[in-house]
Structure 1
Amino acid sequence: MKIMHSRGARLLALAALVATVAACGLPRPGPNKREIYAGSVQRKGDAFVVEVNSRVTRATAVVPALGFTDAFKHARKIGSDTISPGDKLGISVYENVTDPLLGARGQKVSQLAETKVDGQGYIFVPYAGRIKAAGNSVEALRQAITRKLDTQTPDPQVSVIRLPGDGSTVTVEGGVTGQGVYPIDASTRTLASMLAKAGGVSIQPSVALVSVTRGKTVGKIWLQDLYDNPSLDIALRPGDRITVEKDRRSFTALGATGTQTRVPFDTATLSAIEAIAQVGGLTSNYADPTGVFIFRNEPAEIANAVLGRHDLVGDQRLIYVLDLTKPLGMFNARDFVIRDGDTVYVTEAPFVQWRKTLSALTGTAGSVSSLQSATSSLKSATGL
């Protein structure tokens, strides 16, 4: 009977010791499942905790809507010889007379080299006056000059060559091989062809974002979409600014994952299962596959759709829960779209804290034993 009482006392003492060690706050990467659920709105907390299912994946499947407006898409290609303000023109006039109108006596050909089109789109030709050039083709301008001179010199033969200047150019900058100012000519009248003219893109196409600034309007498109769908290509206009930059979106991975860090997106769309794989997957010795959480500030429109409500206003804190052990868990994780700024957090398995507690107890018992041995050795040496 005394032995049983002694064992019972030891068990009670061990339980008290375990509780004491656990209460001391053992190291861990973050909150456990119980603590997360305790902070839900349903339990007077400040965040909605929602289990992911097919309905939730559909309601939250929002990706950046990129593409060009109708104004960009419906703009026709400008002719390779269409003249713009800022262009330079080479004009030659041939007169089959002894005393020409434009040249010296006996000179058959008069050249007006690099005649610049002014800001209003006009040029000046001696004896022909001020002529509208911008918006016309080279042939149309040639005919206009011929008509002006024809009344003053017999059968003038006019030649006009367009030399692209400041007006018929676009600026290409950012992640391209050759940044610079390029003329719009017969081979570079579209966005894709101009990017090729600039030496191609120097960053990974899957994360390359291309923007075109035209006046006060900006259009954006994923480079991969431009490659995959030639119909999305647009015609360029003088003064366009083309910028290629790497996708800046990212998510944060925390908890029992292969790595804990801020992770940039490596594709235009990223699912929860891809995000987990991108950081090395779940840590097999620590992770709880029933406790994969995505923390997000959700716009009211989506939050209302997810929660089946209509009264929420402003951004809402939502915590989405994925249970990878359920039959559809992996499918839900595959279909759930990760967005910019999300935090993906994986909780530790419940037994991990027990293992840490036992390890701490073992270490404590070992320390006590070592202390007792040291004390005995000291007593022996001093004869006490």
Structure 2
Amino acid sequence: MKQSASRGVKLVALLATTAIVAGCALPRSGPTRSEILAGAEQTVGAPFIVAVDDRIARTTSVEPKLTFPAAFRNIGLLGPDTINAGDTLGLTIYENVNDGLLAGTGQNMAVLETVQVDGQGFIFVPYAGRIRAAGNTPEALRQLITAQLETQTPDPQVQVRRIAGDGAAVAIMGDVGGQGVYPIERPTRTLAGMLARAGGISTEPETALVTVIRGATEGTAWLNDLYTDPSLDIPLRDGDRIVVKQDERTFVALGATGGQARVPFGKPEVTALDAIAQAGGLNTNLADPKGIFVMRNERAEIANAVLGRSDLVGDQRMVYVLDLTQPNGMFFAREFLIRDRDTVYVTQAPYVQWQKTLSALTGPLSTANTVNNTLN
């Protein structure tokens, strides 16, 4: 009887000690699922907690597609023979008389080899004066010069040639084979041709972003979309700046995953299931598949749509909960899109904390018994 009572006392003491140890700050990777949910309910100004389903996945996946402005796409190609400011021209003028206005003594032909188109788009031709060249083709300019000269010399014949010069050009920077300033020529009048002229892309094509800056307006598109959408192979204009760079979006993976780190997206769209896989998957010894949280600052229009409200203003702190043990849990995780700077947190299973508690309790007791046996 005494022995039974003694065992009962020891069991009560063990349970009491276990409870005390469990209440202590044992090491762990973060809060449990129940702590996050309870904190959100009890704290003023806490984030909104939303369980992910088909509607939530669709509502939060509304992201504007990366593309170029309509002003970039709805313009024509520069004509291959269009003269621009900075171009260099060659002029040959034939006169139907000897000792003409422009020809030398005893000749009827004058050659002007390097006529520069000035910044305002004009050239100067002796006896014809200042003539606008930019925006005209060589044929149109020939007619203008002829019209100006025919009042002073009989039946002038004019030839106009384009010579390589510093005309319309674009600047290409970033992850390309050769950065620099390139002229707009027949093969390089569109974005794809110009990128090829610069040596192609030197980064991973699947995650390469192409930005075109034209004055105060700019647009960005995925490189791969240039292959599938011809409207994105936009015509170029003088002074365009083209920047190619690697996608820099990342998310943070924390908790009971295969690895805790800042993880690059690696492709245009990353789902919650992708994010878990990229973080090394769920740690089979630690993870609670019911407690997968995605934390972000959500835009007001999306937060209102998710919560069925219309009064929220400004970015809202949102916590989306995924439960992979539900029948459709994997499908919801496969459809829910991750955004730049999201935090993906996987909680530990309750069993893990209980196991740590027992380890914290039995470890010192085992050590004490060993010391006691040694002394005896």
- Count of paired positions: 376
Deviations 1:314-362 (A, max 9, x none): 2111100000111100110011011111100000111111121222223
Counterpart mapping for 1:58-97 below 5 A:
58-95=58-95, 97=97
Deviations 1:133-176 (A, max 9, x none): 11111111122112222333343332222235444111111111
Aligned-partner SS, 1:39: helix
Residues 1:131 and 2:144 aligned together:
no
For the structure 1 residues 166 and 374, does the alpha-carbon distance in structure 2 shift closer, same or farther, using more than 3 Å as the test?
A: farther
Aligned-partner SS, 1:152: coil
Residues 1:285 and 2:308 aligned together:
no
Residue type at the aligned position of 2:65:
A
Range with greater deviation from structure 2 (85-94 or 300-309): 85-94
Equivalent pair of 1:38/1:45 in contact (CA under 8 Å): no
Structure 2 distance, partners of 1:167, 1:73, is 22
Deviations 1:288-314 (A, max 9, x none): 111100001111211111111122222
Structure 1 distance, partners of 2:164, 2:173, is 19
Aligned-partner SS, 1:243: strand
Structure 2 distance, partners of 1:173, 1:121, is 27
Aligned-partner SS, 2:289: strand
Paired residue for 2:149?
149
Residue type at the aligned position of 1:171:
A
Equivalent pair of 1:167/1:239 in contact (CA under 8 Å): no
Question: Which 4+ runs in 1 deviate beyond 4 A?
Answer: 41-45, 373-376
Paired residue for 2:262?
262
Structure 2 alignment gaps of length 5 or more: none
| Superposed displacement of residue 94, structure 1 | 3.4
Range with greater deviation from structure 2 (207-216 or 84-93): 84-93
Residues 1:321 and 2:321 aligned together:
yes
Equivalent pair of 1:42/1:48 in contact (CA under 8 Å): no
Structure 2 distance, partners of 1:83, 1:295, is 55
What is the TM-score when the length of structure 1 is the normalising length? Answer: 0.93
| Superposed displacement of residue 233, structure 1 | 1.5
Equivalent pair of 2:73/2:231 in contact (CA under 8 Å): no
Residue type at the aligned position of 1:261:
A
Residues 1:56 and 2:78 aligned together:
no
For the structure 1 residues 6 and 231, does the alpha-carbon distance in structure 2 shift closer, same or farther, using more than 3 Å as the test?
A: same
Structure 1 distance, partners of 2:312, 2:41, is 13
Structure 1 distance, partners of 2:199, 2:341, is 33
Structure 2 distance, partners of 1:88, 1:368, is 95
Structure 1 distance, partners of 2:339, 2:64, is 9
Paired residue for 1:14?
14
Structure 2 distance, partners of 1:278, 1:199, is 32
Residue type at the aligned position of 1:215:
G
Aligned-partner SS, 1:338: coil
Aligned-partner SS, 1:124: strand
Deviations 1:238-293 (A, max 9, x none): 11111111112111110011111111211111111111111111111111111100
Structure 1 distance, partners of 2:164, 2:22, is 77
Aligned-partner SS, 2:186: coil
Deviations 1:167-193 (A, max 9, x none): 411111111111111111111111111
Range with greater deviation from structure 2 (228-237 or 72-81): 228-237
Aligned-partner SS, 1:235: coil
Range with greater deviation from structure 2 (356-365 or 73-82): 356-365
Structure 2 distance, partners of 1:124, 1:306, is 67
Aligned-partner SS, 2:239: coil
Residue type at the aligned position of 2:52:
V
Residue type at the aligned position of 2:242:
I
Structure 2 distance, partners of 1:107, 1:9, is 128
Residues 1:111 and 2:111 aligned together:
yes
Structure 1 distance, partners of 2:369, 2:157, is 112
| Superposed displacement of residue 373, structure 1 | 4.7
Residue type at the aligned position of 2:287:
A
For the structure 1 residues 125 and 36, does the alpha-carbon distance in structure 2 shift closer, same or farther, using more than 3 Å as the test?
A: same
Residues 1:159 and 2:162 aligned together:
no
Paired residue for 1:102?
102
Structure 2 distance, partners of 1:190, 1:286, is 54
Structure 1 alignment gaps of length 5 or more: 377-384
Range with greater deviation from structure 2 (93-102 or 213-222): 93-102
Residue type at the aligned position of 1:343:
T
Paired residue for 1:207?
207
Residue type at the aligned position of 2:78:
I
Residue type at the aligned position of 2:129:
G
State the identity %. Answer: 60
Residue type at the aligned position of 1:158:
V
Range with greater deviation from structure 2 (216-225 or 83-92): 83-92
| Superposed displacement of residue 20, structure 1 | 2.3
Structure 2 distance, partners of 1:219, 1:333, is 31
Structure 2 distance, partners of 1:321, 1:6, is 47
Aligned-partner SS, 1:13: helix
Range with greater deviation from structure 2 (149-158 or 48-57): 149-158
Deviations 1:60-80 (A, max 9, x none): 013343212221111000101
| Superposed displacement of residue 370, structure 1 | 3.7
| Superposed displacement of residue 108, structure 1 | 4.9
What is the TM-score when the length of structure 2 is the normalising length? Answer: 0.95
Range with greater deviation from structure 2 (139-148 or 42-51): 42-51
Paired residue for 1:36?
36
Structure 2 distance, partners of 1:223, 1:213, is 16
Range with greater deviation from structure 2 (99-108 or 290-299): 99-108
Structure 2 distance, partners of 1:12, 1:151, is 120
Paired residue for 2:172?
172
Equivalent pair of 1:39/1:47 in contact (CA under 8 Å): no
Residue type at the aligned position of 1:131:
I
